[in-house]
Structure 1
Amino acid sequence: MAVDETRAWLDLRRAEIVLLPGSPDGAAWALLHGLRSWTTEGRRLALLYQEALAAGAGEGPAADWTRLFRDFWLEVAERFGLAPIDGRLMHVFFESEALYHLSTWSPALEDAALSDTVEHFAHVWLGAPFRPWRGALSQAEDASGTRPHGSAPPAAMRIAKAAAEVVEDKGLAGLTHRAVADRAGVTTGSVTHHFRSIEDLVAGVIRGQVQVLTEEAVANAPPTIDEILTPARLFEALRFHSAGDRPASPAIRRRRLFLASVRRRELAAAGAVIRYSHGGTVRDSLSRVFKLSEGDARLYSGVLSRLLAAIWFACAGDEDPRVTRHALIDRIEAALTARLTRL
């Protein structure tokens, strides 16, 4: 029934975008409008869809749902004079932000950051005209409290990892200061020193887990981040995480943690940390390889990581997902390299 409701919802969106100009700009506006509408007036369906993906992306109703979005964005691409691969890229971007724009942390700032990322995506990958970057994404990253790799205090990180283990075993309902202290082998006072309230503790778990995900990505990528000096080496590492037959474990855990934050309003700030920590592991490499300014590096790495993290989910309903994943990564690499080598 929810899939049928979404089909009707998409019919309304078709009618709403019909007067937009048939150009890459029009496609970008259609994408922005679709994301805003889906995560607000379509929020009930949007949450159901994310729950279906968490239960079994690429299977049963979740696969039908994903194919419905895939076909819609292919149709949109044709309507705006774009190639089918561009429609697939629009679907990938939609799959990312259809989850993360469910955030309720700071609606005005997050909407501005979404506009930044959509305009950047449309310029680099759809051929839309360049528009000066307004800095909303950087503002959101700074305001949400995302931290550079390795910046969490060691004692807090040990406690955060122990708290994550408690959540794995007992769920969020079993997360208490005493349970975390027992797991970490420290006193309850040590836990409350870093995380005073239970809300602070849950937020700390999520902050800590984002740091853990970053460490895992750095440790597992071939080559390591410090070895990346050329575009070819950069995309060798990125493809390793994006083209597998199963989504990378950090991507799954990030999505689950974010959904947990969406379910509890008091965790909205923790959810924002997850949303705006995207791109942390590739930013330094991207800057090193292409000599980017800090602001450009934030925008390029943020949008690139959103695309790569969502590829598996966007292709999960395909007849041959592996072929589509590689075609998308090829397209992402070619467009990004062409754009950055001109800077």
Structure 2
Amino acid sequence: MSGIPVSSIYHHFGSLEQLFVVAQEFAQTEAQGWCDAQLRQISDFPGQRSAFAGFFSELVDGWSCGQRRLAFSWREAQVLATTGDMLTDVAGGWEGLWSGFWQEAGRAFSLGCESIVAARVFENESLLHMLHWRRIVDRAGLAEFGQGLGAWLTGTPMPAAPWREFAREQAMRSVPALPARDAVAMAIVAAAGELIGRGGVAHLTHRAVAQRAGVTLGVVLHRFRTKAQLVEAAFEAIYLSLVSGGEIRPTGADAPLPVADMDEMAGLIIRTPAERGLQELFLAAARDPSLIQFGAQFRYTRGRKSWGTVQAIAGSGREVGNLEAALFSSFASSLARACGTTEGEAARREIQRELQVVADLIANGDSGTCRVS
């Protein structure tokens, strides 16, 4: 795009990886300036939790839509962080940037230890808000999502969410009919999805898929002749894993999850595999207008697998709706992205701490008091 010879890039930067690092550092500097500008705008505002919902939705929209180039830079750094120490450091730079921002924003709205919930939900929702479907519905649904988060933080009832319910219904209706596959084709599709999840599109080859699926190279080439068809098959596998599964109903727990269950949930998050394939699918849908139908499905069908957990935490005194289940799904997805595959007892305790913070919000609406230290 720049018209500069490739040799000049290597002369000045040594490698494409080093060029990526420099570009990321520049993006982080710009992002820091944007974050500082947001905090300056509320520096004299008498912060209160009841005002946080409006701030949250404006923040997500301003970042994901108003700063789209920087938003892509952040997500690309997350995707590539597993490829080398240099890129891991780049991703760490983004983590530090947002950690500092949410410390300040949390103080501005008196969120205390519960600012981690806002930070986690922002991390996930700002990714999903990059997926455009219908602008009016997306923006109105984001406002409802912010109001739901505000209800958690203030201990008030979950608001109605007619825009999100409409979008959810439309999304469920628009789930595409995937092609019929025999057992061999499904094995190839699953293998392609696993390879993208582990190493990205660059690691997806016909030979690698054949080896992982346990079939010959000729069989893969016969079913999926081109690399593009193989990529489509991989995304089909990832998409199926995302939208499959129904609601998991509670098993009768009427009290907040005990410590043993928190430990089990922490273990599940630690064992969560890298979400690279899912991240790449999200970014592909965000970039490609032809994939717009996926935007609604990715954004508005969340929470089906989380519903039972949230209902168990809330207890039998009230019924959990789709909005609250989606909020918990957003929090848990971000936590898994940040801490998945983490090792060590200290990491497990930190995950448990965050889970207990959000469980307290769901269970008793104890806004402003953290039971965990």
Q: Scaled by the length of structure 2, what TM-score is found?
A: 0.67
* 1:121-164 deviations in Å (ceiling 9; x for gaps): 1111x21655731322222211122799xxx8995696666435
Q: Does 1:328 align with 2:357?
A: no
Shift of 1:45: 0.7
Does the C-alpha gap of structure 1 residues 273 and 198 become closer, same or farther in structure 2, counting only changes over 3 Å? Answer: farther
Q: What is the alpha-carbon distance in structure 1 between the residues aligned to residue 44 and residue 186 of structure 2?
A: 50
Equivalences for residues 36-51 of structure 1 within 5 A: 36-51=61-76
Q: Which residue, 92, 116, 136 being the options, matches 2:163?
A: 136
Counterpart contact for 1:160–1:208, Cα < 8 Å: no
* 1:5-59 deviations in Å (ceiling 9; x for gaps): 1111111111223354410122332222211111012111111101111112793
Aligned to 2:146: 118
Shift of 1:332: 0.8
Letter in 2 for 1:122: G
Aligned length: 311
Counterpart contact for 1:93–1:306, Cα < 8 Å: yes
Equivalences for residues 178-197 of structure 1 within 5 A: none
Q: Which residue, 143, 157, 163 being the options, matches 2:189?
A: 163
Does the C-alpha gap of structure 1 residues 7 and 249 become closer, same or farther in structure 2, counting only changes over 3 Å? Answer: same
Show structure 1 runs of 5+ residues with no match.
192-196, 219-224
Aligned to 2:27: 2
Does the C-alpha gap of structure 1 residues 156 and 337 become closer, same or farther in structure 2, counting only changes over 3 Å? Answer: farther
Show structure 2 runs of 5+ residues with no match.
1-25, 211-215, 367-373
Shift of 1:252: 4.8
Counterpart contact for 1:28–1:118, Cα < 8 Å: yes
Q: Does 1:56 align with 2:81?
A: yes
Aligned to 1:127: 154
Does the C-alpha gap of structure 1 residues 322 and 56 become closer, same or farther in structure 2, counting only changes over 3 Å? Answer: farther
Q: Which residue, 228, 244, 253 being the options, matches 2:251?
A: 228
Q: What is the alpha-carbon distance in structure 2 between the residues aligned to residue 81 and residue 293 of structure 1?
A: 27
SS at match of 2:321: helix
Shift of 1:251: 4.8
Q: What is the alpha-carbon distance in structure 2 between the residues aligned to residue 82 and residue 203 of structure 1?
A: 39
Aligned to 1:260: 284
SS at match of 1:281: coil
Does the C-alpha gap of structure 1 residues 232 and 250 become closer, same or farther in structure 2, counting only changes over 3 Å? Answer: farther
Q: Does 1:22 align with 2:68?
A: no
Task: Name whichever of 253-262 and 74-83 sits farther off.
Answer: 253-262
Aligned to 2:22: none
Q: What is the alpha-carbon distance in structure 2 between the residues aligned to residue 208 and residue 249 of structure 1?
A: 16
Q: Does 1:101 align with 2:133?
A: no
Counterpart contact for 2:31–2:70, Cα < 8 Å: yes
Counterpart contact for 1:23–1:81, Cα < 8 Å: yes
Q: Which residue, 82, 102, 111 being the options, matches 1:73?
A: 102
Shift of 1:242: 4.7
Counterpart contact for 1:32–1:115, Cα < 8 Å: yes
Q: What is the alpha-carbon distance in structure 1 between the residues aligned to residue 139 and residue 92 of structure 2?
A: 28
Aligned to 1:33: 58
Q: What is the alpha-carbon distance in structure 1 between the residues aligned to residue 90 and residue 67 of structure 2?
A: 18
* 1:257-289 deviations in Å (ceiling 9; x for gaps): 222322322112224322323211122454577
- In angstroms, what is the RMSD of aligned CA positions? 4.3
Does the C-alpha gap of structure 1 residues 81 and 210 become closer, same or farther in structure 2, counting only changes over 3 Å? Answer: closer
